[in-house]
Structure 1
Amino acid sequence: MFDSMATAADMRLAILFAGIAVVLLTGVLFGRVARSLRQPIVIGEIAAGIVLGPSLLGLLPGDPTRHLFPADVRPLLSAVSQVGLILFMFMVGWKFEQRLIRPHVGMAAGVSLCSVALAFGLGVLSALVLYDHHDTVGGKHISFVAFATFMGAAMSVTAFPVLARILSDHRLTDTRVGTLALASAAVDDVLAWCMLAYVSALVTSDGDTGDLVTIALRSLVYAAVMFLAVRPLLSALTWWFAGKEQWRPLLVTLSAGALLSAWATTWIGIHAIFGAFLFGFVTPREPARVLAEHVREPLEQISLVLLPVFFIVTGLGVDVGGLSGTQYLELGLILLVACAGKLLGAIVPARLLGLPWHEAGTLGLLMNTRGLTELIILNAAVSLGVLDGQMFTMMVLMALFTTALAGPLLPRGEAMLALRPEARTVVPAPGTG
Structure 2
Amino acid sequence: MRALAAGVQEDQIAAMLLGIGVILLVGAGLGALARKVGQPKVIGEITAGIVLGPSLLGLFPGNLTERLFPSDVRPLLSAVSQVGLVLFMFVVGWEFERRLIRPHARLAAGVSLSSIVLAFGLGVAAAVVLYPHHDTVAGKHISFLAFATFMGTAMSVTAFPVLARILAENKLMDTRVGALSLASAAIDDVLAWCLLAYVSALVSSDGDYADLARIGALSVVYVAVMLVVVRPLISRLVWRWAAMERWPALLAVLCAGVFASSWVTSWIGIHQIFGAFLFGFVMPREPRRVLAAHLRRPLDDVSVILLPVFFIVTGLGVDLGALTAADCLALALVVAVACAGKLLGAIAPARLSGLSWREAKDLGVLMNTRGLTELIILNAAVSLGVLDGRMFTMLVIMALVTTAMAAPLLSRREHLTVGDLPTTRTPVADATAPRT
- In the alignment, residue 22 of structure 2 is paired with which amino acid? V
Distance in structure 1 (CA, Å) of the matches to 2:64 and 2:194:
40
2:380 maps to 1:384: no
Q: Are 2:156 and 2:342, in contact at CA under 8 Å, matched by a contact in 1?
A: yes
Distance in structure 2 (CA, Å) of the matches to 1:60 and 1:246:
52
Q: Structure 1 residues 356, 20: CA separation in 2 closer, same or farther (over 3 Å shift)?
A: same
- 2:181 counterpart residue number: 181
TM-score, normalised to structure 2, is 0.95
- 1:427 counterpart residue number: 428
Give the deviation of 1:17 after TM superposition. Answer: 0.7
Give the deviation of 1:253 after TM superposition. Answer: 1.2
Per-residue CA shift, 1:199-225, capped at 9, x if unaligned? 000000000001000000000010010
Q: Are 2:52 and 2:316, in contact at CA under 8 Å, matched by a contact in 1?
A: yes
2:414 maps to 1:416: yes
- 1:346 counterpart residue number: 346
Q: Are 2:131 and 2:147, in contact at CA under 8 Å, matched by a contact in 1?
A: yes
Runs of 4 or more consecutive aligned structure 1 residues displaced over 2 Å after TM superposition:
1-8, 417-426
Q: Structure 1 residues 257, 419: CA separation in 2 closer, same or farther (over 3 Å shift)?
A: closer
Give the deviation of 1:315 after TM superposition. Answer: 1.2
- In the alignment, residue 310 of structure 1 is paired with which amino acid? F
**Structure 1 segments unaligned to the other structure (5+ residues):** none
Per-residue CA shift, 1:87-127, capped at 9, x if unaligned? 00000000000010011101000000000000000000000
- 2:287 counterpart residue number: 287
- In the alignment, residue 392 of structure 1 is paired with which amino acid? F
Give the deviation of 1:254 after TM superposition. Answer: 1.1
Distance in structure 2 (CA, Å) of the matches to 1:308 and 1:204:
29
Distance in structure 2 (CA, Å) of the matches to 1:417 and 1:203:
45
Give the deviation of 1:411 after TM superposition. Answer: 2.9
Tell me the SS of whatever aligns to 1:277: helix
Matches within 5 A, 1:24-423: 24-412=24-412, 415-417=413-415, 422=420
Give the deviation of 1:236 after TM superposition. Answer: 0.1
Distance in structure 1 (CA, Å) of the matches to 2:80 and 2:165:
25
Q: Structure 1 residues 356, 8: CA separation in 2 closer, same or farther (over 3 Å shift)?
A: closer
- In the alignment, residue 400 of structure 2 is paired with which amino acid? L
Distance in structure 2 (CA, Å) of the matches to 1:340 and 1:416:
26
- In the alignment, residue 54 of structure 1 is paired with which amino acid? P
Distance in structure 2 (CA, Å) of the matches to 1:132 and 1:30:
37
Distance in structure 2 (CA, Å) of the matches to 1:51 and 1:393:
13
- In the alignment, residue 162 of structure 1 is paired with which amino acid? V
Q: Structure 1 residues 419, 154: CA separation in 2 closer, same or farther (over 3 Å shift)?
A: closer
Measured on the aligned residues, the alpha-carbon RMSD in Å equals 1.9
Distance in structure 1 (CA, Å) of the matches to 2:327 and 2:374:
20
Distance in structure 1 (CA, Å) of the matches to 2:45 and 2:410:
21
Per-residue CA shift, 1:19-62, capped at 9, x if unaligned? 00110111111011101111011111111111111111111111
Q: Structure 1 residues 152, 297: CA separation in 2 closer, same or farther (over 3 Å shift)?
A: same
Tell me the SS of whatever aligns to 1:101: helix
Q: Are 1:170 and 1:411, in contact at CA under 8 Å, matched by a contact in 2?
A: no
Q: Percent of aligned positions with the same letter in both sequences? A: 67
Per-residue CA shift, 1:127-164, capped at 9, x if unaligned? 00000000000000000000000000000000000000
Give the deviation of 1:72 after TM superposition. Answer: 1.0
Tell me the SS of whatever aligns to 2:9: helix
Q: Are 2:177 and 2:415, in contact at CA under 8 Å, matched by a contact in 1?
A: no
- In the alignment, residue 414 of structure 2 is paired with which amino acid? M
Q: Structure 1 residues 282, 289: CA separation in 2 closer, same or farther (over 3 Å shift)?
A: same
Distance in structure 2 (CA, Å) of the matches to 1:380 and 1:4:
29
Q: Are 2:175 and 2:418, in contact at CA under 8 Å, matched by a contact in 1?
A: no
Q: Which moved more, 1:126-135 or 1:311-320?
A: 311-320
Per-residue CA shift, 1:205-263, capped at 9, x if unaligned? 00000100000000001001000000000000000111101111111111111111100
Give the deviation of 1:417 after TM superposition. Answer: 3.8
Flag the structure with higher helix content: 1
Distance in structure 2 (CA, Å) of the matches to 1:253 and 1:320:
43
Q: Are 1:185 and 1:367, in contact at CA under 8 Å, matched by a contact in 2?
A: yes
2:12 maps to 1:12: yes
- In the alignment, residue 335 of structure 1 is paired with which amino acid? V
Q: Are 1:42 and 1:371, in contact at CA under 8 Å, matched by a contact in 2?
A: yes
Distance in structure 1 (CA, Å) of the matches to 2:414 and 2:10:
57
- In the alignment, residue 242 of structure 1 is paired with which amino acid? A
- In the alignment, residue 429 of structure 2 is paired with which amino acid? P
Q: Structure 1 residues 14, 124: CA separation in 2 closer, same or farther (over 3 Å shift)?
A: same
Q: Which moved more, 1:177-186 or 1:5-14?
A: 5-14
